[in-house]
Amino acid sequence: MAISPSSNSTGVTTYTLKVNGSPMDSSIGVISINIDYRINHIATAEIILSDGDMAAQRFDISDADTFKPGAIISISAGYASDESPIFEGIVISHGIEITPDNSTFLHIVCKDKAVGMTVAKHSQCFLAKSDSAIISSLIANYAGVTGSVGSIADTHSELVQFNSTDWDFMLTRAEANGFVIVNQSNKVTVDKPSVSGSAALVVTYGADLMAFSAKVDARNQLTSVTATAWDSTKQDMVTGKGAAQSISGQGNFTSQDLAQVLGINDYTLQNRVPPEFRCTDQLG
């Protein structure tokens, strides 16, 4: 049964911040903790601490090793000390700030360990592998990161990753299959979004809804899509077609209503790769 955010929310809000497995010194003043989860993005936590002594001309917390880059941060929160884990990652950014009114802060930015997938660019070729196998192999290259990838049956005879980060390449393969990426607690989940079944959470306008923004853009909805490509083994064109999908409960506009706004009856995707293209050509 779906619950409200206000359920089980009685009592004082409490939190626990651990660094490398040990609770943070209680003498350190926490100004704010902001945790950001988004689909297709790396999980992020931003922590602002009170630090800086103008008379002594130093930042003691910043000078210590506690929040140095690479430190493992875990955050739990709840009500009346009934807490649950809400973030785990590593310190990526460490900065101090002195404001015009001489207030002083230490800013810490933490990222999920999967952030390693967003840095280095790679070029490689995958032979006779499905997208699910390719995505799983990309995630497996990063220590401390686990993966859960939905099944994709079709295989590629050849697929090239060229000068792109593993995260960006994974995003393109997920999008091509209608999948999304969710990153939490050093785990990367790649699967189709579920639009059926019961809701896990219910929010009510005027009761427990703090902020909300939603929009519809008819440019993103098509009546149908036709894809064509050259099959070098059969020396012939191959064609595939997909129609608009119906999703209920997403507002009072149907996919068909939106597709009719611009009147584009069919959208064509055409593969421009020549038949003589090979992985060695791209990587060489």
Taking only the tens place, the pLDDT of each residue in 229-244 is 888 778 888 898 888 7
Residue 193 has pLDDT above 70, yes or no: yes
Q: Give the pLDDT of residue 1.
A: 60
pLDDT averaged over the chain?
Answer: 90
Q: Give the pLDDT of residue 284.
A: 45
d(C-alpha 163, C-alpha 170), whole Å: 13
Superfamily of domain 118-191: Baseplate protein-like domains (3.55.50.10)
Q: pLDDT by residue (tens digit) across 140-174? A: 999 999 999 999 999 998 999 999 999 999 999 99
Torsional sign, CA 15, 20, 22, 28: negative
CB half-sphere exposure, 119, CA atoms < 13 A? 7
Consecutive H or E run containing 136: helix 131-139
Superfamily of domain 13-111: Baseplate protein-like domain - beta roll fold (2.30.300.10)
- Residue 233 is which amino acid? T
Q: Does pTM surpass 0.95? A: no
Show the tokens assigned to 168.
């960006």
Q: What is the mean pLDDT of residues 110-136?
A: 97
Residue 219 has pLDDT above 50, yes or no: yes
Q: How many residues belong to the chain?
A: 284
